[in-house]
Amino acid sequence: MEKAQDILELERRFQEKIDNDIRIEPNDWMPDAYRKTLIRQISQHAHSEIVGMLPEGNWITRAPNLRRKAVLLAKVQDEAGHGLYLYSACETLGADREETIDDLHSGKAKYSSIFNYPTLSWADMGAIGWLVDGAAIMNQVPLCRCSYGPYARAMVRVCKEESFHQRQGFEIISKLAQGSPEQKEMAQDALNRFWWPSLMMFGPSDDDSPNSAQSMKWKIKRNSNDELRQLFVDVTVPQAEMIGLKIPDNDLKWNEATQHYEFGEIDWTEFWEVVKGNGPCNYERVETRRKAKENGEWVRAAAVAYAEKKKNKELAVEA
């Protein structure tokens, strides 16, 4: 039995390992809250990859040429792969993948709210790659040094494969921005719709993010939401200028003293409404995933039944 003082000692040693940048591995002792926080964060991350396939998947059959079609398909496929790596990391904590997925389908688990916005034009494929993947990479790069080994390793793999995603997005949008007036308008419209939701991807401001301090102490999180958001704005604004698109924020201006951009107030009411389920596509996204699983039920059952028959046949031959 674990006694109270033993637990305190285990916790002390655990934190010491973290402070010394020693990775935590699946079978190591860890506080229950650490495990739960990780399961929540990794599964949300995995769900985001999987739900994130849908807004882009929406344009695969309408991609404008063969190259774009293949690249988009490969990209959305990567997202399935990344979801799988992450579910796999989550399973090392004892969270069964299919049960984790059922939590998504029942509405119990959350995913990145950006994917509840619709993709209305081809330019949205550019905006998603450029802005959404750009923001995701900023969140993800620090996670490669996360204290939990399997999560950190999954993120190394994800970041390696993801580098082309943002570049392909930027390529799409800059091509449009330099194209015909219709194309330019399409690009600007996509930026107008995706800019603010992209800023929301970094989560509530630090004052409203109660779990952040503990996550930073555990080195599950390395930077605060506001820090990463600022970094994103600083990097992205010049890119927009470079391709001649206008960021839809009248309060945006460069501050020479801080060497950062100042930007307008995020509509947090909209953010919380979308998180709560009131975004334009929340219902469709989850329903689509739920249906995919439901429609696949007979397929998965058949594979299990066949595997059992085969195993029994092999056993019969051996006997």
Sites for another protein among residues 139-178 (CB under 8 A): 139, 154, 157, 172, 175-176
Q: Which of residues 290-309 bind another protein (CB under 8 A)?
A: 291-293, 295-307, 309
Listed ranges 91-99, 189-197, 239-247, 254-262: which one lies at the site for another protein (CB under 8 A): 91-99
Binding range to another protein, per CB under 8 A, among 8-16, 230-238, 239-247, 259-267: 8-16
Closest to another protein by CB, 191 or 220: 220
Binding mask 31-70 for another protein (x = CB under 8 A): ----xxx-xxx-xxx--x-x--xx--x--xxxxxxxxxxx
Exposed / middle / buried, residue 52 (Cβ in 10 Å: 0-12, 13-18, 19+): buried
Provide the minimum distance between the beta carbon of 283 and another protein in the complex, in angstroms, as a whole number.
16
- Cβ contacts of 161-168, under 8 Å, gap ≥ 24: 161/78, 161/81, 161/82, 162/78, 162/82, 162/133, 162/136, 162/137, 163/137, 164/75, 165/75, 165/78, 165/129, 165/133, 166/129, 166/130, 166/133, 166/134, 166/137, 167/129, 168/71, 168/72, 168/75, 168/129
Specify the DSSP element, H or E, that contains 254.
strand 253-255
Classify residue 305 by its DSSP letter: H
Q: How far is the CB of 23 from another protein (least distance, A)?
A: 12
Region 246-265 residues binding another protein, contact defined as CB under 8 A: none
Among 110, 184, 222, 290, binds another protein (CB under 8 A): 110
| Residues 123, 129, 131: CA angle, nearest 5 degrees | 95
- What is the smallest separation between the CB atom of 175 and another protein, expressed in angstroms? 6
Rounded to an integer, what distance in angstroms lies between the CA atom of residue 235 and that of residue 224? 17
Does 233 interact with another protein (rule: CB under 8 A)? no
Would you count residue 2 as binding another protein (CB under 8 A)?
yes
Contacts of 259 (CB under 8 A, 6+ apart): none
Say whether residue 8 binds another protein (CB under 8 A): no
CA distance 126 to 134: 11
Q: Which residue blocks in 52-147 are alpha helix, DSSP H?
A: 53-57, 66-91, 97-105, 123-127, 133-140
Q: Which is nearer to another protein, 65 or 250 (CB)?
A: 65
> Contacting another protein (CB under 8 A), which of 20, 21, 180, 318?
180
Give min distance, CB of 256 to another protein, in A: 31
CA–CA distance, 83 with 50 (Å, rounded to integer): 6
Interface residue with another protein among 19, 96, 241, 267 (CB under 8 A) is 96
Q: Which is nearer to another protein, 109 or 127 (CB)?
A: 109
Taking the complex as a whole, the smallest distance from the CB of residue 78 to another protein amounts, in Å, to 9
Per CB under 8 A, contacts with another protein among 201-230 are 201-203, 209, 211-212, 215, 221, 225
CB of 45 to another protein, least distance (A): 7
Distance CA 101, CA 94 (A): 14
Q: Is 235 in the site for another protein (CB under 8 A)?
A: no
**Residue from 11, 23, 31, 92 binding another protein (CB under 8 A):** 92
In whole angstroms, give the CA distance from residue 266 to residue 304: 49
Tokens of 241: 């200028």
Binding residue count for another protein, defined by CB under 8 A: 106
CB of 95 or CB of 191, closer to another protein: 95
Alpha carbons 212 and 222: distance in angstroms, whole number = 10
